[in-house]
Amino acid sequence: MNDGRRLLIGAMFVDTLGGGLLNPFELVYALEIAHLSLTTAGVVLSVAAAAGIGIGPLAGAVVDRIGAPRVVAAANLLGLAGCLSLLFWTNGWGYGVGAFFLSANMRTFWAAFTPLVAGIAGAAELEKWFGRLRGARYVGIVSGQGLSGVFFVAGLHTGLRLLVLANGLSFVVALALVLAAARVRRAPAVSPEEEPQQPRRGYRPVLADRVNVALAGLNVLATLLMIAPVIVLPVFILDRLKLPTWLPGALGALLTATATVGLLFGARLVRGRRRLRNLEIAAAIWAIGCAAFLLAPLALALAFTALVAGVLLLGLGEAFYAPTADALPAALAPLDLRGRYAALHQMAWGISEGIAPTLGAAALSVGSSALWLTLVAIALATALAYRVIEGPVRGRDGITG
Domain boundaries, given as residue ranges, for the chain: 3-182, 208-393
- Looking at per-residue pLDDT, the higher value among 321 and 4 belongs to 321
Contacts of 300 (CB under 8 A, 6+ apart): none
**Statement: residue 336 has pLDDT above 80:** yes
pLDDT value of position 149: 82
Q: Are 219 and 321 in contact (CB under 8 A)?
A: no
Residue 79: closest CA among 34, 117, 47, 109: 109
Question: What global pTM score does this model have?
Answer: 0.84
What is the Cα–Cα distance from 353 to 361, expressed in whole angstroms? 13
pLDDT value of position 188: 46
Contacts of 153 (CB under 8 A, 6+ apart): 159
Per residue in 14-25, pLDDT tens?
999 998 888 878
pLDDT value of position 185: 58
Per residue in 147-185, pLDDT tens?
888 888 888 899 999 999 999 999 999 999 988 887 765
pLDDT value of position 194: 42
**Statement: residue 130 has pLDDT above 50:** yes
DSSP string, 18-75: HHHHHGGGHHHHHHHTS---HHHHHHHHHHHHHHHHTHHHHHHHHHHHH-HHHHHHHH
Per residue in 75-111, pLDDT tens?
999 999 999 999 998 898 999 999 999 999 999 999 9
- Alpha helices per DSSP H over 119-185: 126-147, 156-182
- Looking at per-residue pLDDT, the higher value among 4 and 323 belongs to 323
Is 3-182's fold the same as 208-393's?
A: yes
What is the Cα–Cα distance from 321 to 339, expressed in whole angstroms? 20
pLDDT value of position 146: 80
pLDDT value of position 162: 94
pLDDT value of position 94: 94
pLDDT value of position 187: 43
User: How much is the average pLDDT of 61-69?
Assistant: 91
**Statement: residue 214 has pLDDT above 90:** yes
What fold does the segment set 208-393 form as a domain?
Growth Hormone; Chain: A; (1.20.1250)
Architecture of the CATH domain 3-182: Up-down Bundle (1.20)
What is the Cα–Cα distance from 266 to 130, expressed in whole angstroms? 12
pLDDT value of position 334: 93
Per residue in 195-207, pLDDT tens?
444 555 689 999 9
Most confident of 141-145, 267-271, 295-299: 295-299
Banded model confidence at residue 189, pLDDT cuts 50, 70, 90: very low
Banded model confidence at residue 192, pLDDT cuts 50, 70, 90: very low
pLDDT value of position 200: 55
pLDDT value of position 77: 96
